[in-house]
A = this chain, B = another copy of it.
Amino acid sequence: MIDQSLHSRLGVETTNGDGFGVGWYGEASTPAVFKSVEPAWNDRNLKELSGHVRSGLVFAHIRASTGTPVQQTNCHPFRHGHWLWMHNGSIAGFHDVKRELLLAVDPSLYLDIEGSTDSETFFFLALTMGLEDDPPAAVERAVGLIEHVGREHGIEHPVQMTVATTDGRSIWGFRYSSEGKSRSLFYSARVDTLRAQYPDNPVLHQLSDESRLVVSEPLGDLEGAWNEVPESSFGVVREGEDELHPFTPRPPA
């Protein structure tokens, strides 16, 4: 996180210093979320927690604001019940479409929105459209709606996104943009394959065969370690099984 916050290579801004957040699952059914408005590279509590908390499923996000205020309620990951959500990208022209999109959020869910970002609105649209039952279909419907509303407002390319969401057991990762030039998304190769390829690498011996990393940018320089998620597709990572599928927005009826 610290390296990427200072020297992002594939992002829009090289500096991601507008706060950060970490969510993780422990003994409780609801995940913990730790958020800060400081740059990740300065936050001493982040280093403390990283050194002392263990979890089998961690979400981590560094923020480069596209205009909304730097405050904890705008930091990812966002949480609802036992779900986490984080988004890299933006809803184009959000200021103009915000009100209409918020009106499409289920009124009972609406009350739980705490911040002012496009990313949280996107999360609550996906929740409204059934995220908890069928995540891929819900995200496809949410994106379809955002594109529909955006285009009504004359916005050519309404959605730019990689999204990761989880219920604590499976992780869904989405890569899509209306323009077809989406931000990057990578997932790690199988640890057993890498271990056979690099028998002397000590890090690989600390990871279990089930370890998976899903990242915006490759970490480190290990050749063969990272696979890119293709344009307009999504992947599912869960115990014993990884899948990759095409992603197609579903416009409102």
On A, residues with C-beta under 8 Å from B are: 6, 13-15, 17-18, 24, 26-28, 32-39, 41-42, 44-45, 48-49, 51-54, 65, 69-73, 95-96, 98-99, 103, 107, 110-111, 114-116
Contact = CB atoms under 8 A, between A and B. Distances in A.
B14 A14 contact: yes
B48 A32 contact: yes
- With most chain B CB atoms within 10 A of its CB, the pick from A15, A37, A115 is A15
A70 to B, nearest CB: 5
Contacts of A52: 24, 26-28, 32, 53
B45 A36 contact: yes
27 contacts: A6-B13, A6-B15, A15-B17, A17-B42, A18-B42, A26-B52, A26-B53, A27-B54, A28-B51, A28-B52, A32-B49, A33-B48, A34-B45, A34-B48, A35-B44, A35-B45, A38-B70, A42-B65, A44-B72, A49-B49, A69-B72, A69-B73, A98-B111, A99-B110, A99-B111, A103-B103, A116-B116
A48 B69 CA distance: 15
A32 B35 CA distance: 17
B51 A53 contact: no
A12 to B, nearest CB: 13
Contacts of A53: 26, 32, 52-53
A28 B51 CA distance: 8
Shortest Cβ-Cβ A-B pairs, 10 listed: A32-B52, A71-B71, A17-B17, A42-B70, A32-B48, A26-B52, A15-B15, A17-B39, A69-B73, A99-B110
